[in-house]
Amino acid sequence: MGLLSLGTPLDWHESKKYNEHVRDNGITQLINIFKQHHRRNHDEFLWGDEVEYMLVDLDDQHQTAKLAIDKDYILHDLNDEAKALPKAQAENVSFHPEYGRYMLEGTPLRPYNGNKLDDYVYVEENMAKRRQLSREELPNNIKPLTLTSYPRMGCPNFTSPPAKAIGPASQSLFLPDEIINRHARFPTLTANIRKRKGHKVAINLPMYPDKNTKLLDDSIPTNRQLFKSDKEPFLGASKPGYVYMDSMGFGMGSSCLQITMQCSNIDEARYLYDSLIPIAPIMLSLTGAAPIFKGYLVNQDVRWNVICGAVDDRTFIEKQEEPYKEHHLFGGLDIDCCHDLDINKHGVNEYGDLHNLYTKDGKPIQQVPKSRYDSVDNYLGDGNYDTNYFKTEFNDLNPPINKKVYERLVNEKSGQFDKQLATHFAHLFIRDPLVIFSERIDQDNNLSNDHFENIQSTNWQTIRFKPPALYEATPEEEEGSGGAVDFTRRPGWRVEFRPMEIQITDFENAAFSTFTSLLSKAILKFKPNFYIPLSKVELNMKLAHHLDSTINEKFWFKSLDSWGLNYHDFIGYDFSWFDRYLSEGNDLLVNGNVYLNGYNSSTSLAGADEEGQLQSNGTSGTNGINGINGSAAPKKSSAPTRGCVGKTIEEINDVDDNGLDQRYSVNEIINGNGKFPGFIRLVIKLIATELVPKDSQHCQDSRCASKFIRLKHYLMLISKRSSGEIPTAAHWIRDQVLNDANYQHDSKVSDLINYKIIRQVVKLTDLEDKDLVLEFFGETIGEYLLSDSRK
Ligand code: ADP
Ligand code: MG
Ligand code: MG
Ligand code: MG
Ligand code: MG
Ligand code: MG
């Protein structure tokens, strides 16, 4: 998203009159996009990441850390021609607004080239530049940090300067409206979700049960009488034993890491989109970084169900839930019939016949099982691609669709929408627009795709299928830009990978970005079959929330021997490949360290035996975390929030009836198990066969060597997190609390502990504390990072 244009956003009660107008014209725009672009082919594999920062005011004297909500001028400065913009452009970085006033999003200005080895290593440099540039525009005490959830968000005095939770946009009991981006779009979005829904969002996270934990959220004000909604927690919104959150900011105010990749054509994009769907929960688990919410340790590791709940605009009737006392089943929807409906008679168990209920604009009211922020509901199908693995039974969720949209698309004269494509868009278009700008109601559908994007970009799925923009909607570059933004203005068919949590350091974020992009390229090259029924992906999403799910859980995945790949084709493409590639020829000088035969003589890289092999025992699940304090946490937990990954899993067999899907540890899926390749071998073979300089069998100089060594360490990070040898960020953050002398074993994260966590996070970000770096990254990666001049 670029900088936001100015305009007048409509309040829900005004905007809902245009819902069908936006949908109708949005679909016309989609059809126009397809007419223009369906035959587009041979686009390059370009890609880019998005990193979201939180600005934290760190006060070492008073030992406090707070979210800075008065530094949002930085976005303007960074985009100001007279200030930092020329520098940002010269450094190829770009900054965008985010939901929180304390947030900032940074991306490369021009996407990276996925066919260039250099670009996979350059990512980290680009990320470092973003952090550096934003630091230069901020006072010293304000730190741009990459934290997934801010530990004390929603606790008394968590902002700098202080602000009161009394705002009309969110009506939150915990979050002031001053945390919301000043641009009118964001408070309107917040308010409109609440108004459509007819009550506030309600997110309930299980508390981490420690020995002194009172299973009671005692932070809920009992006597506020500012808004009618103040009573909601006592009418059923909050659940005993759970941490209760009531506002969009708890989810949209968290940070994540997203990767967008361009495919050569639509068919390739559909296959890649589908292939990444089962991978999403695996990567969510591996990147888990959110064990604390609203000052409580919670009994889960990731943000996902929080953000699902935070923008869940469904009414009681759509969720099939009994309304709170004095609340309306239909929320802010205008119902066109059945005014005399006795809502008491239509409680949760009885209203199976929604089919005769319509909104005023003629849209049927239907049951909507999931939030608009959630995992993917439909595979797109790869029937037009040379793989052709998709079977209709993999789409086993039967999500609701907008029948009118579906009929329109499948009957489109051009015939470009097959059943799967039409179902995908018809599902996205069950949603209402959340924010409409009065200036943008009437659009020329040949020139604009705003109405389409309005619905598309407020369906926040684990994977997003991004069609090209209409040529006319992307005007020629502004004068003087030197054509620098041409790539982003003429994008092709893209796939966005969105489940990952943001990591603390640039090194980790670069590692996960590079891994995602390389794995995607490997998928397109080796064409594995990863299709499993979507219902199993849903179960995996739930598993990914569990404490230390990476090492404790087994995830459904395509049976490794049903990938359609031959293991023998991947033998040798483990970490030893790097060593061989680096070892021939002269000794290499890398960052002042001599690499004799490819092994660093002064660091633990010399322990190549240990590194040269991928883990070969497939049956982890019992793998402990070595070298760090294990938290005394109970294993499995359930995360019953409303509609967001909220199913309970009971007694799941490890092998499916059809034998095609099995449950595997993350270790097996990533590292292979001695019989099957695993993702890392796919990636290493891709590097070896596609990305090494064509004219050489090994590195000729130290610059080349240092790139491969970097890449190797990116993959080692992923490998070691998967095997449990080094902790996830969530595990490490939880341990910061559990091992703090001030911690009372009551699951509460005090102001002081919050400060200490942030202090450690700042040190880690800068890789400045040797012991900390070794603890967090383990010895091999830690030593490498400490010896590397780029830190
Ligand atoms: P959004 O917020 O809608 O996901 P952003 O513009 O913030 O989109 O980020 C999209 C990412 O895609 C950025 O990293 C950007 O560099 C990258 N990108 C831009 N153009 C292309 C392209 N043609 N192909 C692939 N990636 C692209
Ligand atoms: Mg963005
Ligand atoms: Mg965005
Ligand atoms: Mg963002
Ligand atoms: Mg994005
Ligand atoms: Mg969906």
Listed in order, strand segments (DSSP E) in 410-462 are 460-461
ipTM of the shown complex? 0.95
User: For residue 108, which atom of ligand 1 is closest to its CA?
Assistant: 16
Nearest CA-CA partner of 113 in 46, 175, 58 = 46
Contacts of 388 (CB under 8 A, 6+ apart): 382
Query: In a mutational test of the pocket of ligand 1, which residue from 260, 462, 471, 524 has the highest number of ligand atoms less than 8 Å from its CB?
Result: 260
Q: What is the pLDDT of residue 473?
A: 61
Using the 8-state DSSP alphabet, how is residue 52 labeled?
E
Q: If you measure from the C-alpha of residue 791 to the centroid of ligand 6, how many angstroms do you get, rounded to a whole number?
A: 40
Half-sphere exposure of 691 (CA within 13 A, CB side): 29
Inform me whether the pLDDT recorded for 571 exceeds 90: yes
Per the CB < 8 A criterion, the answer to whether 270 and 381 are in contact is yes
**Nearest 10 degrees: CA dihedral of 709, 49, 190, 644?**
-60
Q: Which residues pair with 655 in a beta bridge?
A: 662
Q: If you measure from the C-alpha of residue 360 to the centroid of ligand 4, how many angstroms do you get, rounded to a whole number?
A: 34
Average pLDDT over residues 117-144: 97
Per the CB < 8 A criterion, the answer to whether 201 and 195 are in contact is no
Q: If you measure from the C-alpha of residue 702 to the centroid of ligand 1, how many angstroms do you get, rounded to a whole number?
A: 32
Which ligand is located closest to the Cα atom of residue 108? 1
Ordered alpha helix ranges (H), 115-265: 117-136, 185-197, 249-252
Q: Are strands 93-96 and 103-108 parallel, antiparallel or unpaired?
A: antiparallel
Inform me whether the pLDDT recorded for 290 exceeds 60: yes
User: For residue 492, which atom of ligand 1 is closest to its CA?
Assistant: 23
Residue nearest to atom 7 of ligand 1 (CA): 1
List residues near ligand 1 (CB under 6 A).
1, 46-50, 96, 107-108, 111, 258, 260-262, 487-488, 491, 494, 496
Who surrounds ion ligand 6 at CB < 5 A?
377
Which ligand is located closest to the Cα atom of residue 254? 4
Place of tokens 């700098």: 160
Place of tokens 């005769």: 356
The burial class, CB within 10 Å (0-12 / 13-18 / 19+), for 361 is middle
Structure-model confidence comparison of residues 369 and 341, the more confident one: 369
3-state SS assignment for residue 600: strand
Which ligand is located closest to the Cα atom of residue 46? 1
Helix or strand holding residue 773 (H, E) = helix 770-787
Contacts of 168 (CB under 8 A, 6+ apart): 177, 191, 227
Q: If you measure from the C-alpha of residue 6 to the centroid of ligand 3, how many angstroms do you get, rounded to a whole number?
A: 17
Nearest CA-CA partner of 579 in 603, 613, 602, 533 = 613
Say which amino acid occupies 426: A
Q: How far is CA 765 from the centre of its chain?
A: 20
Half-sphere exposure of 199 (CA within 13 A, CB side): 29
Q: What is the pLDDT of residue 644?
A: 56
User: For residue 111, which atom of ligand 1 is closest to its CA?
Assistant: 16
Inform me whether the pLDDT recorded for 616 exceeds 60: no
φ and ψ of 581, to 5 deg: -65, -35
Which ligand is located closest to the Cα atom of residue 520? 1
Residue nearest to atom 11 of ligand 1 (CA): 48
What average pLDDT does the chain have? 88
d(CA 636, CA 650): 12
Q: If you measure from the C-alpha of residue 546 to the centroid of ligand 4, how many angstroms do you get, rounded to a whole number?
A: 25
Per the CB < 8 A criterion, the answer to whether 112 and 119 are in contact is yes
Contacts of 253 (CB under 8 A, 6+ apart): 99, 100, 102, 103, 150, 153, 175, 179
User: For residue 261, which atom of ligand 1 is closest to its CA?
Assistant: 25
Which ligand is located closest to the Cα atom of residue 49? 1
pLDDT in tens, 763-787: 999 999 999 999 999 999 999 999 9
Nearest CA-CA partner of 700 in 582, 554, 547 = 582
Residue nearest to atom 2 of ligand 1 (CA): 1
Range from 463-467, 634-638, 677-681, 683-687 carrying the lowest mean pLDDT: 634-638
Rg of the Cα atoms in the chain: 25
d(CA 485, CA 477): 7
Q: If you measure from the C-alpha of residue 456 to the centroid of ligand 5, how many angstroms do you get, rounded to a whole number?
A: 12
Structure-model confidence comparison of residues 347 and 128, the more confident one: 128
pLDDT in tens, 657-700: 677 889 999 999 999 987 889 999 999 999 999 999 877 778 87
pLDDT in tens, 4-28: 666 899 999 999 999 999 999 999 9
Range from 97-111, 121-135, 197-211, 668-682 carrying the lowest mean pLDDT: 668-682
Average pLDDT over residues 77-82: 96
Residue 336 pLDDT grade (very low, low, confident, very high; cuts 50, 70, 90): confident
Q: If you measure from the C-alpha of residue 50 to the centroid of ligand 4, how many angstroms do you get, rounded to a whole number?
A: 7
Q: If you measure from the C-alpha of residue 187 to the centroid of ligand 1, how many angstroms do you get, rounded to a whole number?
A: 25
Tokens of 370: 């999931």
Average pLDDT over residues 415-433: 97
Residue nearest to atom 13 of ligand 1 (CA): 48
Using the 8-state DSSP alphabet, how is residue 470 labeled?
P
**% of the chain with per-residue pLDDT over 90:** 77
Inform me whether the pLDDT recorded for 232 exceeds 80: yes
d(CA 381, CA 559): 19
Q: If you measure from the C-alpha of residue 243 to the centroid of ligand 2, how many angstroms do you get, rounded to a whole number?
A: 29
Residue 353 pLDDT grade (very low, low, confident, very high; cuts 50, 70, 90): low
Nearest CA-CA partner of 67 in 166, 136, 143, 133 = 143
Q: What is the pLDDT of residue 104?
A: 98
The answer to whether the Cα torsion of 251, 253, 259, 265 is positive or negative is positive
Neighbours of 574 (CB within 10 A): 25
d(CA 537, CA 224): 41
Nearest CA-CA partner of 124 in 776, 706, 726 = 706
φ and ψ of 678, to 5 deg: 80, 155
Using the 8-state DSSP alphabet, how is residue 497 labeled?
E
Who surrounds ion ligand 5 at CB < 5 A?
50, 258
Residue 348 pLDDT grade (very low, low, confident, very high; cuts 50, 70, 90): very low
Average pLDDT over residues 489-497: 91
d(CA 94, CA 88): 6
Contacts of 146 (CB under 8 A, 6+ apart): 51, 52, 53, 54, 255, 502, 503, 504, 505, 509, 765
pLDDT in tens, 213-230: 999 999 999 999 999 999
Residue 701 pLDDT grade (very low, low, confident, very high; cuts 50, 70, 90): confident
pLDDT in tens, 155-209: 999 999 999 999 999 999 999 999 999 999 999 999 999 999 999 999 999 999 9
Write the CA distances from 336 to 323, 333, 347, 481, integer angstroms: 20, 9, 20, 51
Q: If you measure from the C-alpha of residue 205 to the centroid of ligand 3, how many angstroms do you get, rounded to a whole number?
A: 25
Residue nearest to atom 9 of ligand 1 (CA): 50
Nearest CA-CA partner of 433 in 465, 468, 402, 407 = 402
Per the CB < 8 A criterion, the answer to whether 721 and 615 are in contact is no
Q: If you measure from the C-alpha of residue 98 to the centroid of ligand 4, how many angstroms do you get, rounded to a whole number?
A: 6
**% of the chain with per-residue pLDDT over 70:** 85
Query: In a mutational test of the pocket of ligand 1, which residue from 463, 488, 512, 514 has the highest number of ligand atoms less than 8 Å from its CB?
Result: 488
Average pLDDT over residues 703-732: 96
Inform me whether the pLDDT recorded for 2 exceeds 60: no
d(CA 277, CA 532): 9
Residue nearest to atom 20 of ligand 1 (CA): 488
Contacts of 490 (CB under 8 A, 6+ apart): 468, 471, 474
Inform me whether the pLDDT recorded for 630 exceeds 50: no
Which ligand is located closest to the Cα atom of residue 498? 5
Residue nearest to atom 25 of ligand 1 (CA): 47
Contacts of 86 (CB under 8 A, 6+ apart): none
Residue nearest to atom 3 of ligand 1 (CA): 1
d(CA 674, CA 616): 5
Place of tokens 């070595």: 626
Tokens of 604: 């633990």
Using the 8-state DSSP alphabet, how is residue 642 labeled?
S
Residue nearest to atom 1 of ligand 1 (CA): 1
Tokens of 470: 């209409």
How many residues appear in the chain?
791
Per the CB < 8 A criterion, the answer to whether 256 and 502 are in contact is yes
- SS (HEC) of 340-397: CCCHHHHCCCCCCCHHHCEECCCCECCCCCCCCEECCCCCCCCCCCCCCCCCHHHCCC
Query: In a mutational test of the pocket of ligand 1, which residue from 50, 256, 466 has the highest number of ligand atoms less than 8 Å from its CB?
Result: 50
Buried b (16+ CB within 10 A) or exposed e, 764-788: bbebebeebbbbbbbebbbbbbbbb
Q: If you measure from the C-alpha of residue 497 to the centroid of ligand 4, how many angstroms do you get, rounded to a whole number?
A: 12
d(CA 251, CA 524): 33
Write the CA distances from 767 to 3, 28, 150, integer angstroms: 32, 51, 20
Q: What is the pLDDT of residue 44?
A: 96
Q: If you measure from the C-alpha of residue 256 to the centroid of ligand 3, how many angstroms do you get, rounded to a whole number?
A: 11
Q: What is the pLDDT of residue 414?
A: 87
User: For residue 490, which atom of ligand 1 is closest to its CA?
Assistant: 23
Contacts of 264 (CB under 8 A, 6+ apart): 41, 42, 43, 44, 45, 492
Q: If you measure from the C-alpha of residue 431 to the centroid of ligand 6, how many angstroms do you get, rounded to a whole number?
A: 9
Q: What is the pLDDT of residue 649?
A: 58
d(CA 659, CA 539): 18
Which ligand is located closest to the Cα atom of residue 260? 1
Per the CB < 8 A criterion, the answer to whether 78 and 85 are in contact is yes
d(CA 200, CA 193): 8
